[in-house]
Amino acid sequence: MNRAGKGSFSRSFFANMLLITNNPDVRDAFTDKHGITLRFIEGSYRDVLVAARDLIHSGSKLLTHPLMGSLKPNETPYRSVALAVMEGPMDMDSLMLIERSIETFDKFAAVTRPDRGVNTPERMLADFRLIDLSLISSALDH
C-alpha cells in the first residue's frame, strides 16, 4: 500500500515522483520506467535521507517510509526513498518523519558492526541490494 492507503500508484502519478537511491540495482531497475525520475546518490544510506530531507524543505512529500523494512540502518548500506516532487509549503508530517529517520540512523550508526562497512562480503551486499529493490518495488507496485 502506498502512503495514501491505496493499492498502487497510477501511471500519471509517476510523473511527479522522484526516487532517490544509493542502490545500483534500484537505479538499473527503475531507469526509464513509467516516467519515474531517479536520482542516484553516490553515497551512504544517510546521504539518501539527507537528500530527501532537502527536497521536503522545498515542499516535496514522502511517499515511502524512509526506514521501511526490518533491517536496522547499521545493517544495510542501501536505501531508496520515493517522494512526490512539488513546491509549496513544507509538509510537516514528511519533515518530522525524515528528521526522526535521520536521528534513528545516527543512533544506529554509532553502533559499530565488525561484519559491515568495508568488511561486508560482496554476497551480503548483493542480498542487501536485493532487499532494498524488493521493498521499493513492492511499495510502488512495480
Per-domain residue ranges of the chain: 11-140
67-125 pLDDT, tens digit per residue, is 999 888 888 999 999 999 988 899 999 999 999 999 999 999 888 776 667 778 899 99
* Residue matched to cell numbers 560482496: 122
Strand 37-40 vs strand 17-21: parallel, antiparallel, or unpaired? parallel
Beta bridge partners of 18: 37, 83
Verdict on whether the full-model pTM lies above 0.85: yes
The answer on pLDDT for 2 being more than 80 is no
Residue 4 has a pLDDT of 44
Q: What is the DSSP letter of 115?
A: T
The mean pLDDT of the chain is 87
Torsion, Cα of 141, 49, 77, 20 (10° steps): 40
Per-residue pLDDT at 34: 65
Q: Please list, in sequence order, all residues whose beta carbon lies within 8 angstroms of the beta carbon of residue 98, skipping any fewer than 6 positions away.
A: 49, 52, 53, 56, 62, 66
